[in-house]
Amino acid sequence: MSGGAFYLGIDVGTQSLTALLVEVTPAGGDGDSDDRARGIVARAGVRYDSELPAYGTVNGQLPGDDPAIGRVPPCMWLDALDLALHRLGPEACQAVRGVSVSGQQHGSVYLAAGAKRALAALTPDRSLAQQVEPLLSRAEAPIWTDSSTTQECAEIRHALGGAAATAELTGSDTFERFTGPQVRRFARTDPEAWADTAHVCLVSSFVTSVLTGRVAPIDHGDGSGMNLLDIRRLEWSGAAMTATAEGLDRRLAPPCPPWTIVGKIAPYFVSRYGLPASAQVVAGSGDNPCSLVGVGVREPGEAVLSLGTSDTYFGLLKEVAVDPDANGHVFIAPSGHPMSLICFRNGSLAREAVRDRYGLDWPAFDAALRATPPGNDGLMMLPWFEPEIVPRVASPRVVRLGGLTDGPEHAARNCRAVVEGQFLSMRLNSEWMATRPTRIVATGGGSRNRELLQIAADVLGCRVESLEVSDGAALGAALRATGRRICPLPPIGEPGPSVEPRPEAAAIYDAMLPRYAEAQRLAAG
């Protein structure tokens, strides 16, 4: 392989592991900031369920009788890593200059005493899983799907002074999937195994530890999803650690900036796959921060709108701002900026519910949006077809306002009402971020729908650009592997529709927002 420099991103996802090799070449400027990603030159993926059947996972996790428990055997990820590097082949591996990991956020892995010495002595004549399994003090890793920690969330929240105080300190209220509550539950239910634990890792730092042959630090981005990092001081909070588990402070390495070079690639990977001994390993991070890089969002005021089963809105802030209702989250982005994230469960779920209610297909749904005016003549909807995350709505209910009914005579009106309601909710419930977006990158299945994007642009008051990026978290990890604070803006991905807000429509939504806010306040309680 020839040309520019090649960087490897490894995304340890929920159902699969993906390895991407990206070529980065100078664009002719004077500094690193002028470099650009040319493209993806190699890819290897491994599906856990079908390609590693010995682990017995279903949708990437171990099956069980209790749906609240989400567990994974960590060695499965290492077998997937071995297989992915084998599939990349020696030519691709030999070209690697830097490596970084994106890990599914909030999962935790526990290493026993002696792990530090054993990681440094990994030998290429045996697989990673065979050598690392004896180092685990806990055979199974809880991941983000685990919701068994309600009691622990309440206990930590109480110790820290309530939901708002917890969010003010750590960037988020305690949530069942977060790592701090996972740690507390482990220490409480299995004190002997907790006593044997010497190091608490996240998915990203665990795989990074294996790649470097040393216990890797947790970066600020992934660490901010633990309910343990002081979101302003960017160090572990003593109060949060005390509220979580005894002795946690000595089990966590100091957190590090996202662009930290942890070390060189371990000899195991040099001998077994031909990676250069000079290849640097940059601190791993969570999939959400890495995805920001993958779509080219680098500056405060830029945001990402993911239109999928759930709708997710996240972007970069000028400074830390915390949701006073403790529904949203603040993480740290790979650039070092605060990063907001709010998730709305009723994304395509709600749009599909309206579509199916009236027997429409998507072209007919789009036609209904075109046939109805901005503002819908005052007809509005609170589209909670499923329990909602933001705002917190425990039971499904759809609230129609202004005389809107669910009858067939209002089929087109309901199509517009559900979409306008979603984006009005997004605007209302993101006001705490104190950073109005200047540009939004839309991804996901709904991002190809021009009518949907136009309403988003009008309601949110800024340009919306559609970009289809495959393996965005792995791509972000590959670009982070350069070790630069501001990663190159990647021209990778297929651009779709881009729309500008229409002033007359934006004015209508500005006037609607207070009425929507009052309706939400009354309905959500």
Which CATH number does the domain housing residue 310 bear?
3.30.420.40
| 174 and 153 both lie in a single domain | yes
Residue 271 and residue 314 share a domain: no
What is the reported pLDDT for 31? 43
Maximum alpha-carbon separation in the chain: 72
Please tell me the predicted confidence (pLDDT) of residue 32: 45
501 and 448 in a common domain? yes
Helix (H) or strand (E) holding 238: helix 238-244
Query: Taking Cα atoms as reference points, which of 463, 456, 462 lies closest to residue 498?
Result: 463
Cα–Cα distance, 371 to 460 (Å, whole number): 21
Point out the domain boundary residue: 265, 289, 313.
289
Q: Are residues 333 and 246 in the same domain?
A: no
pLDDT of 4 above 80: no
At residue 435, the pLDDT reads 85
- Structure-block tokens of residue 261: 């070079």
* 114 within domain boundaries: yes
Q: Model confidence over 166-214: pLDDT tens digits?
A: 999 999 999 998 999 999 999 999 999 999 999 999 999 999 999 999 9
Which structural domain range is residue 137 located in? 5-289
User: Do 180 and 252 sit in the same domain of this protein?
Assistant: yes
Q: Are residues 261 and 301 in the same domain?
A: no
Same domain, yes or no: 167 and 36: yes
Asked if 234 and 320 sit in the same domain, the reply is no
In a domain, residue 53? The reply is yes
Give the count of alpha carbons within 13 A of 512, CB side only.
26
DSSP 259: T
Q: Per-residue pLDDT tens for 477-498?
A: 999 999 987 655 555 667 788 9
Instruction: Report yes or no: 170 and 231 within 8 Å, Cβ to Cβ.
Output: yes
Given 289, 316, 333, the domain boundary residue is: 289
pLDDT band at residue 1 using 50, 70 and 90 as cut-offs? low
Does residue 350 sit in the same domain as residue 444? yes
In this structure, what token pair is assigned to residue 174? 């305690």
Q: Lowest-confidence range among 31-45, 341-355, 407-421? A: 31-45
CA atoms within a 13 Å half-sphere pointing along the CA-CB vector of 164: 3
- Tell me the two tokens of residue 320: 């830390």
pLDDT at 36: 57
SS3 361: coil
Which pLDDT belongs to residue 96?
A: 97
Residue after which a domain boundary falls, among 289, 322, 348: 289
pLDDT at position 37 over 90: no
Whether residues 280 and 173 fall in one domain: yes
Q: How many domains does the chain have?
A: 2
Whether 488 is in a domain gets the answer: no
Percent of the chain past pLDDT 70, that is, above it, reads: 95
